[in-house]
A and B are shown apart, each in its own frame.
Chain A
Amino acid sequence: GIQVEQSPPDLILQEGANSTLRCNFSDSVNNLQWFHQNPWGQLINLFYIPSGTKQNGRLSATTVATERYSLLYISSSQTTDSGVYFCAVIDTGRRALTFGSGTRLQVQP
């Protein structure tokens, strides 16, 4: 099956700093989503982005499908950004998301 790798696995930032999270996937996909799992365990949809670039406030994401990677940018980080960020894809043969192992982000005041 498709492999999804995320980097870095852990990230500690000071409030106000910027960061880039990366997601590499091993095969063609027709869906890519970024999620934030907050400290209470909820999985929050951030972006549906199989290709191109989207922005939502301080967050933006870019997927280059031909090169099989996606990037999530967090600018001016806040303590509420802490949690685990997951990338997940649906490959062309399945109808279920395969998740990466996540990036655990801690934003310190």
Chain B
Amino acid sequence: DTAVSQTPKYLVTQMGNDKSIKCEQNLGHDTMYWYKQDSKKFLKIMFSYNNKELIINETVPNRFSPKSPDKAHLNLHINSLELGDSAVYFCASSHFYRRQGRTEAFFGQGTRLTVV
């Protein structure tokens, strides 16, 4: 009954490889996100999708490409991995309840990516 789940939890790969991280939410939310947490624990937004439409695309190398096949899934593909891509990547989801003016976000357990 996990609300936001992402796989894999750990990913170790060599420089130059292409990898994907998958994310699924079963909360019925309309917005999904990818965040990157660096070695100093700082969390920064990378992408946001609302109803499968890209609405936030921060300054991220174009080697990173999000894909949202439906509202419940948001995957992250990374091409030509570099050492500096090593980080923890978090998926999250939220829903804007217009009547209450409320948006609360929930996070997956994170994927620790290590590029060697």
Q: Is the interface of A mostly helix, strand, loop or mixed?
A: strand
**What's the A-B contact tally at a CB cutoff of 8 Å?**
56
Confirm or deny: A64 has a beta carbon within 8 angstroms of a beta carbon on chain B: no
Q: What is the minimal beta-carbon distance from B112 to any residue of chain A, in angstroms?
A: 7
Given the known inter-chain contacts A94-B56, A95-B50, A95-B55, please indicate yes or no for A41 contacting B45, CB distance below 8 A: no
Given the known inter-chain contacts A30-B101, A30-B103, A31-B104, please indicate yes or no for A97 contacting B110, CB distance below 8 A: no
Number of A positions contacting B (CB below 8 A): 24
- Cα A98 to Cα B41 with chains together (Å): 14
Q: Is the interface of B mostly helix, strand, loop or mixed?
A: strand
From A45, A84, A95, A102, B104 is in contact (CB under 8 Å) with A45
A–B complex contacts, Cβ < 8 Å, 8 sampled = A31-B104, A45-B104, A86-B43, A88-B105, A95-B48, A95-B94, A95-B103, A96-B48
Residues of B within 8 A of A (CB): 31, 33, 40-45, 48, 50, 55-56, 88, 90, 92, 94, 96, 101-107, 109-110, 112
